[in-house]
Amino acid sequence: MYAIEVSELRKSYPKKIPLPFRKVEWIEAVKGISFKVKKGELFGLLGPNGAGKTTTIKILTTLLEPSGGTAKILGFDIRKDAREIRKRINLVAEGERTLYWRLSAYENLKYFARIYYIPKSEENERIEGLLKLVGLWERKDDLVMNYSRGMKQRLAIAKALINDPEVLFLDEPTLGLDVQSAIFVREFIRKLVDEQKKTVLLTTHYMAEAEELCDRIAIIDHGKIIALDTPEGLKKLVKGEDVVEIRVRDFSVQKLKNFPWKLAIVREDVERGITTLRGQITEEDLPKVVELLVKSGARILSVEQKEPTLEDVFIKLTGRTLRD
């Protein structure tokens, strides 16, 4: 049995709230995605903002009803067995304001312990253990509003472990965190899988994070999965092709539209007028690319060959970067 089984999952949202006699247009956010996650696997959904990652997580955590398709968590159907699923899973939602800021860390966990039906006899011990695990025991009585962003996220993770879930959903768990906190969170997530054998599904738009953490990654774009494999497997999609990074000055984005090669803007230094382009270009094509760029009025500053990354896979598949 898989921990998560998703088949042809679809979700449409109305553009406006449906009311009687109002014709409403629907937008399809998730367009028939399918994937399976094994128990004890760390599975990533990688994609840009608006790709359908959060919607997918909300459906799988039973917060949203799918418009079509099926999904099972630990063998339970998301439509029929929502409460059974909720007992066995937990989530860290995107954003900072997911906990009660006017309560202390201890009070927050106490609340969640009760609504997750943790027996009274285990409650205090579990809360203490979790707060120690995320390094917040010393600050347990401080109001959450006085915590830093990183501390809030650590508390959100502790909250997500309150019911000792078999499957954990993490929506952009390091978004907006400082470097140190992000490292802590990443290491913590990896430990949960390696040592506690949890199944984790995480969404991210940070390629390095997906590459570093995930056993397998599904790249999602415009509501569809466009590639699914291990990080190494995905990078093989661009192996054998040369990944080139070109730094240019006075580059016009309009010119890129008529380019015969898939090049994406990966960095823009507006102040200095320097644009960094990246894409898969063969040795034979490289002089033609440079010539076209020069003809378009751009000045070439440097041309560098690079090791392929997941970003290159995304560029190859979509012609865009994850930040676009």
Partner 1 sequence: MAATEELRALYGVATKSWRIFLSYKLWMVSDIMLGFFFVGQALLIGIGLTGQRNSPALQQMTGYSDYLTFAVLGFMVLGFGLTFMSGFVWSVVDELYAGTLEYSFAAPMRRITFFLGNVLVRIFLSFVYMAVYIPLFVLMFGVHIDPVGFFKGIPVLLLGTVGMIGLGMTAAGVVLYLKDPGPFINILEMLVFALSGAMYPIKILPKPLQLLAKAMPYAPTSEAVRKVVAFGYLNSINEITYLVFISTLYALLGYLAYKWSEKQARIVGLKSY
* Bridging pattern class, strands 26-37 and 42-46: unpaired
Give the residue, chosen from 63, 208, 294, 301, that forms a contact with partner 1 under the rule CB under 8 A: 63
Can residue 115 be called a binding residue for partner 1 (CB under 8 A)? yes
Strands (E), the chain: 4-14, 26-37, 42-46, 68-73, 76-77, 89-92, 167-171, 199-204, 216-221, 224-229, 243-249, 263-269, 274-280, 299-306
Nearer residue to partner 1 within complex by CB, 112 or 188: 112
Can residue 27 be called a binding residue for partner 1 (CB under 8 A)? no
Q: Which residues are within 8 A (CB) of 268 and not within 5 positions of it... i.e. 6 or more apart?
A: 274, 275, 276
Nearer residue to partner 1 within complex by CB, 85 or 281: 85
Can residue 183 be called a binding residue for partner 1 (CB under 8 A)? no
CB-CB contact of 53 with 171 (8 Å): yes
Can residue 120 be called a binding residue for partner 1 (CB under 8 A)? yes
Q: Which residues are within 8 A (CB) of 227 and not within 5 positions of it... i.e. 6 or more apart?
A: 218, 219, 234, 237, 313, 317
Can residue 199 be called a binding residue for partner 1 (CB under 8 A)? no
What are the CA-CA distances from residue 293 to residues 89, 219, 229, 265 (Å)? 51, 30, 34, 13
Contact segment (CB under 8 A) with partner 1 among 115-123, 132-140, 173-181, 193-201 equals: 115-123
Can residue 158 be called a binding residue for partner 1 (CB under 8 A)? no
Tell me, residue by residue from 244 to 263, as one string, x for binding to partner 1 by CB under 8 A and - for no binding. Answer: --------------------
Can residue 181 be called a binding residue for partner 1 (CB under 8 A)? no
Can residue 22 be called a binding residue for partner 1 (CB under 8 A)? no
Can residue 86 be called a binding residue for partner 1 (CB under 8 A)? yes
Q: How far apart are the first and last CA of the chain?
A: 37
Provide the minimum distance between the beta carbon of 103 and partner 1 in the complex, in angstroms, as a whole number: 6
CA distance 52 to 55: 5
Q: How many CA atoms lie within 13 A of 91 on its CB side?
A: 21
Can residue 62 be called a binding residue for partner 1 (CB under 8 A)? yes
∠ CA 315-219-176, rounded to 5°: 90
Provide the minimum distance between the beta carbon of 67 and partner 1 in the complex, in angstroms, as a whole number: 8
Nearer residue to partner 1 within complex by CB, 154 or 216: 154
Can residue 198 be called a binding residue for partner 1 (CB under 8 A)? no
For 305, the 3-state DSSP assignment is strand
Nearer residue to partner 1 within complex by CB, 2 or 100: 100
Where do contacts with partner 1 occur on this chain (CB under 8 A)?
13-14, 17-18, 58, 61-65, 67, 83, 86-87, 90-91, 93, 95-103, 107, 110-117, 120, 143, 159
